[in-house]
Structure 1
């Protein structure tokens, strides 16, 4: 007589761990279904507080909402509408360290046609071929060039000049990349503001870099990597905004003289 086979069951907690999104303590109903969890098992863990709904169909695992970090909330917002979604606009630029302000609203580009209205999250529906993304610290993020045009619907030309300047020094896009995008799609939403921002950068608008800073930065990147740029209060100098900052090396660099403070002792 043939011995009965051994049926191995996977513990629910193991299934939940497999369902977590990109290493964050979050799961979605979609990811839990893919991990083989039944609705009854999900319902029990919601009832006993082991799964806490943060956004529609997105749950925290093992933590309360008040303990969710900004990165966890961002990852949850992006996960809400499925795998073909990415951080977008000024949220993406902030993630890419090209924009230094964040108003708390998470902007997400999605191919889903069923995005739910959620307080604190703004969805922008795009065609699948328009979602070109990279992963930044575990979070799908739209490419800087695409995010730039979306951000142009909210930012002024001078603010875009700051973004463009910072993005090119992080080697995320070049001025030629922007010009090419404007030529290929002249009627693209945001084009007018992007073109004005590009003109300001090429004209040496305040907040962008001089030729001497250009040359030095290229050499610095080759030697010790990409620095932080225009970071106010770097190295403990309150109110001072040096051109380049390497926090790990405890080094700040000002090239053409301080233009950001009237205090000569901080220059």
Structure 2
């Protein structure tokens, strides 16, 4: 029985240029055409044990090996590297190319041409990427409006971008495409928003005229003791709205949620909870429920 082929350590899990590996005597072209290796892009390979088809980071690493000088991973791919996961795993890698640069199109690569000065490029985990500030600036200019707001707030929540710095950057770059959308996004942006669905829920309520509201509000009882933090609140009316993700269905979270809701009720708060289905498929019903709760509390306030 033949022994398995030896895998050079430096090629065991990360993508690499096949021509470089062959030139350095680590592999032969015949080996690369064998079952141990997967071809990702022209001249870019990875060992089968490191092949993770749904891992966007692997594809970013592969594409980075093909980037011309001055280019960078950008857009939602850059946001992913900065810690804000906004894309499906099968999404192509977004690349920002300086106008004079050339790169061959590929189904796994989404090419965008734009001005890209050195100050807007950096390296993150060894990969050339647009800075977090430039990434937020670019995503905030790309519609639809809710997606632009989700992207900006996700980066703000990761604390890789600060809202005053983004506003200053936008003011220093007038006339760029999507500037009007970005200004609207910056006026709405809430750094305390903790998830994309929370952002979508908040925007739904604001667009329905149910603002102003407070994000991540700390509820305290009559003695000033902390009770809970709620996603969205109208403190004067003691009404809260929360987004429930899948983790709330776990048994431990369910028990904690019951105790938390009881404590909020004892403090005089009315809490409405919504799921992704409520926000995305039944927005009118969601708005109607919140509007009704606010109207009832405004006309029959709870005794303090």
Same fold (TM over 0.5): yes
Residue 45 of structure 1, aligned match among 28, 31, 35: 31
Corresponding position of 2:163: 175
Q: 1:64 to 1:199 in 2, by over 3 A?
A: closer
Q: Say whether 1:234 aligns with 2:247.
A: yes
Q: 1:118 to 1:157 in 2, by over 3 A?
A: same
What is the CA deviation profile of residues 125-174 of structure 1, one whole-angstrom value per residue up to 9, with x for unaligned ones?
Answer: 454515423525x6554333212233245432222222222322221212
Corresponding position of 2:82: 96
Instruction: Name the Cα RMSD after superposition.
Output: 4.3
1:86/1:142 contact within 8 Å kept: yes
What is the CA deviation profile of residues 61-84 of structure 1, one whole-angstrom value per residue up to 9, with x for unaligned ones?
Answer: 24496x544232332123222686
Larger radius of gyration: 2
Q: Say whether 1:207 aligns with 2:202.
A: yes
Q: 1:161 to 1:61 in 2, by over 3 A?
A: same
Residue 108 of structure 1, aligned match among 77, 91, 95: 95
What is the CA deviation profile of residues 239-259 of structure 1, one whole-angstrom value per residue up to 9, with x for unaligned ones?
Answer: xxxxxxxx9xx9778998445
Q: 1:190 to 1:131 in 2, by over 3 A?
A: same
- What SS is found at the alignment partner of 2:110? strand
Shift of 1:114: 3.0
Q: 1:165 to 1:210 in 2, by over 3 A?
A: farther
1:162/1:207 contact within 8 Å kept: no
CA distance in 2, matches of 1:133, 1:60: 25
Counterparts in 2 of 1:29-108, with a 5 A limit?
29=18, 31-32=20-21, 36-37=24-25, 41-63=27-49, 68-70=53-55, 71-81=57-67, 85-98=71-84, 100-102=86-88, 104-108=91-95
Unaligned runs of 5+ in 1: 1-11, 217-228, 239-246
Corresponding position of 1:197: 185
What is the CA deviation profile of residues 29-66 of structure 1, one whole-angstrom value per residue up to 9, with x for unaligned ones?
Answer: 46537x7238xx5312223344432101211124496x
Counterparts in 2 of 1:110-125, with a 5 A limit?
110=97, 113-125=101-113
Corresponding position of 2:118: 129
CA distance in 1, matches of 2:82, 2:176: 22
Shift of 1:236: 2.7
Q: 1:107 to 1:24 in 2, by over 3 A?
A: farther
CA distance in 1, matches of 2:250, 2:272: 12
2:137/2:170 contact within 8 Å kept: no
Corresponding position of 1:162: 150
Which TM-score applies when normalising by structure 2?
Answer: 0.56
Q: Say whether 1:145 aligns with 2:126.
A: no
2:132/2:161 contact within 8 Å kept: yes
1:84/1:131 contact within 8 Å kept: no
CA distance in 1, matches of 2:70, 2:161: 23
Which TM-score applies when normalising by structure 1?
Answer: 0.62
- What SS is found at the alignment partner of 2:166? helix
Q: How many residues align?
A: 220
Q: 1:195 to 1:31 in 2, by over 3 A?
A: farther
- What SS is found at the alignment partner of 1:213? strand
